[in-house]
Amino acid sequence: MSHATIRLPDHQIELLSAGYRRELAQRRRMALVGFVILMLAVLLSGFVAEVRPGVLFENIGKFTSYFGRIFYLDTGALVFTDIGEWFWGFWKWGKQLIDTLLIAYLGTLFGAIFAFLICFSAAINLTPQAGIRFAARRYLEFCRTVPEIVFALIFVVAFGLGPVPGVLAIMIHTIGALGKLFAEVVENIDMKPVEGIVASGGTRWQSIRYGVLPQVLPNFASYALLRFEINVRGASVMGFVGAGGIGQDLIEAIRKFYYSDVSAILLMIIATVMVIDIATERLRHRLITMEQGR
């Protein structure tokens, strides 16, 4: 059987393959340099962060035994043998969990409302004035970058212990996170409806209400639901700094070595987060299909 393949003359093949080898060697060198830099960074940061693998290996048993211990009651029996004793504080913790959910809810709602008010000023297609846009964006960035626990620490001093500072801290963080996402959604809309409304004499508010909102509302709702789920997790640790919710009971149980309480509270938190996770995912899925169905 004869081959129809055209074969280049040898000297040309030689040239091409030399070029190929050069490219390959170049890439290998780059990879090696990158690897060396990475290793140096690892060593340096390992030194700064006082990494002691020896301690870890010595004590890794403690990690697994910790998880063993939190599943035993004070009497020495496995927790599963006496559910009533294990979850002795079910109603107390349940109330705290409801508070946690309410903190996350209020924080998300108020945060979403403020993010909604600000996002149009941060979107380039609705706010051509660079000054306003710059201010709005920097503000959102500030809200987003400072961790919510830091806000909570400051607010606890200003507003007193309890859920109020927790709600406010989550709200501020939510303004930053949602404001950015909302602004991105607004920047991706079809501008024709807005132009139509402006051309027929509509005000800025009317162009937003009738031109922008119908396009962005499902996306806004979907992002807000996603944020709610994240905020439930955030609210579960607000109690660590005295800002309300289940975190207070959890940190007490961990610090005072109430082992079975730790596992009970953690399981309740994980179960709640999973339920919220699944519920918001369902809702978001429906919102997205609603959006695509139009």
Partner 1 sequence: MIPPRDLFPDRAAVSARHPAIMAGSRRAQIIGWALVALLVALTVLSLSRLEFSFARLGSGLVQLGTFLGLMIPPSPGAQLATFSKALAETVAIAFLGTLLAAILSFPIGFLAARNVMTNRVVQFMTRRFSDSIRGVDTLIWALIWINVVGLGPFAGVLAIMTSDIGSFSKLYSEAIESVDRKPSEGVISTGGSSLHAVRFGIIPAVLPVLISQTLYYFESNTRSATIIGIVGAGGIGLHLAEMIRTFEWDRVAFIILMVLATVALIDFVSSRLRLALVGQRTTPV
Per-residue contact string for residues 174-213; x = within reach of partner 1 by CB under 8 A:
---------------------------x-x--x---x---
**DSSP string covering 229-260, please?**
HHHHHHHTTGGGGTSSSTHHHHHHHHHTT-HH
Candidates 96-104, 114-122, 188-196, 279-287: pick the segment binding partner 1 (CB under 8 A).
96-104
Q: How far is 121 from 173, CA to CA, in rounded Å? A: 18
Long-range contacts of 279-285 (CB under 8 A, 24+ apart): 280/225, 280/226, 280/228, 280/229, 283/225, 284/222, 284/225, 284/226
Q: Which amino acid is at 69?
A: R
Q: How far is the CB of 206 from partner 1 (least distance, A)?
A: 7
Task: Answer yes or no whether residue 285 interacts with partner 1 by CB under 8 A.
Answer: no
Candidates 7-15, 16-24, 73-81, 236-244: pick the segment binding partner 1 (CB under 8 A).
236-244
Q: How far is 251 from 236, CA to CA, in rounded Å? A: 11
Task: Answer yes or no whether residue 115 interacts with partner 1 by CB under 8 A.
Answer: no
In the list 62, 92, 285, 286, the residue contacting partner 1 (rule: CB under 8 A) is 62
Q: Which of 124, 114, 95, 62 is nearest to 244 (CA)?
A: 95
Cβ nearer to partner 1, comparing 133 with 233: 233
Q: Which of 84, 60, 90, 66 is nearest to 254 (CA)?
A: 66
Q: How far is the CB of 10 from partner 1 (least distance, A)?
A: 28
Paired tokens of 77 = 């029996």
Binding footprint of partner 1 on the chain (CB under 8 A): 41-42, 44-46, 48-52, 55-56, 59-60, 62-63, 66, 99, 102-103, 105-106, 109, 142, 145-147, 149-150, 153-155, 157-160, 162-165, 167, 201, 203, 206, 210, 233-234, 236-237, 240-241, 244, 250-251, 254-255, 266, 269-270, 273-274, 277
